[in-house]
Amino acid sequence: MRNPEKETELTQDPNIFLMSLDTTDVDQINETAKAVIDMGGVDVVFNNAGYGLSGPLEGFTDEQIVRIVNTNLLGAIRTTKAFTDHFRSKRSGIFINTTSIGGLVAVPFNSLYHATKWALEGWSESMWFELGQFGIGMKTVSPGGMKTDFFGRSFDSAQHEAYDELVAKVMTVITDPAQMASYSSPDQIAEVVYEAATDGKTQLRYVAGSDAKATYEARLQMGGEAFREAMAVRFFG
């Protein structure tokens, strides 16, 4: 994690060894990967760093655009690259990437978040072929809504007055109590991650959470065009 010295819970478990890692720092990624491998090898690399960014495109600064691409997409790619030689040499290992239901469907005013998550899904699928030839697994876990502080600590936003009324409509739907009641706890998603790491399957995609499963199934059944039209009605009437 970026600041292991601030952690209080994980440091109490003797089976957990914390190290510093900022996934936007290429040198630190490579240094940490080498240090971990030198400690005795790795079986699973879980790329979980990421955050949300919402708002109209016209409202974002270039810094916001670059930051989310660096964190949500390039961080996973660079971390995977740092461990690939180790996995290829022993012809085993699993990479698990946290994507999102937002990597399989889209909603309004989350374009840059979706850009990173759709890219991560596509990259992971291509890497499934590439790494599979060496006995290496590539998997994605795609959660839906989370009962965490994602909309606080793990969230950024932008505004533009031309879109304020439309954004308000969308947020009313997203923050509806009935909608949020279907969100998953971290423990529920952790169970899916553990399943992906231990089930021995070559399965690529693990959609996690009841809301995510229902949303993705609706898109598959309706087809992309009809699903998008239905979403537009849902958000804008």
pLDDT value, residue 49: 92
CA distance 151 to 187: 18
Q: CB of 139 within 8 A of CB of 203?
A: yes
Section 84-110 average pLDDT: 97
Tokens of 194: 């553990």
Section 132-145 average pLDDT: 96
> What's the Cα-to-Cα distance from 126 to each of 99, 132, 164, rounded to whole Å?
15, 10, 38
CA distance 87 to 59: 42
Q: CB of 121 within 8 A of CB of 131?
A: no
pLDDT value, residue 36: 96
Tokens of 132: 């599979």
Determine if the pTM surpasses 0.85.
yes
Q: What are phi and psi of 137, to 5 degrees?
A: -90, 145
Lowest mean pLDDT among 61-75, 165-179, 223-237: 165-179
> What's the Cα-to-Cα distance from 143 to each of 123, 189, 190, rounded to whole Å?
18, 7, 10
Give me the catalytic one of 51, 113, 194, 206.
113
Among candidate residues 14, 16, 24, 20, the one with its CA nearest the CA of residue 1: 20
pLDDT value, residue 149: 60
Section 220-230 average pLDDT: 97
Say whether pLDDT at 79 is over 60: yes
pLDDT value, residue 181: 83
pLDDT value, residue 176: 85
pLDDT value, residue 183: 87
Active-site annotation holds for 51: no
CA distance 182 to 171: 16
Over residues 151-184, the pLDDT tens digits come to 555 679 999 999 999 999 999 998 888 878 888 8
Q: Characterise 74 by phi-psi region: left (phi > 0), alpha (psi -120 to 50), beta (else).
A: alpha
pLDDT value, residue 167: 96
Section 205-231 average pLDDT: 96
Over residues 33-42, the pLDDT tens digits come to 999 999 998 9
What percent of the chain stands above pLDDT 90? 88
Residues 6+ apart with CB under 8 A from 89: none
Section 207-229 average pLDDT: 96
Residue 197 — pLDDT band, cuts 50, 70, 90?
very high
Strand positions, DSSP E, 147-236: 155-157, 205-208
CA distance 149 to 138: 28
Lowest mean pLDDT among 92-106, 138-152, 188-202: 138-152
Residue 31 — pLDDT band, cuts 50, 70, 90?
very high
CA distance 188 to 194: 10
What percent of the chain stands above pLDDT 70? 97
Among candidate residues 233, 202, 223, 220, the one with its CA nearest the CA of residue 129: 202
- N-to-C CA span, the chain: 42
CA distance 126 to 121: 9
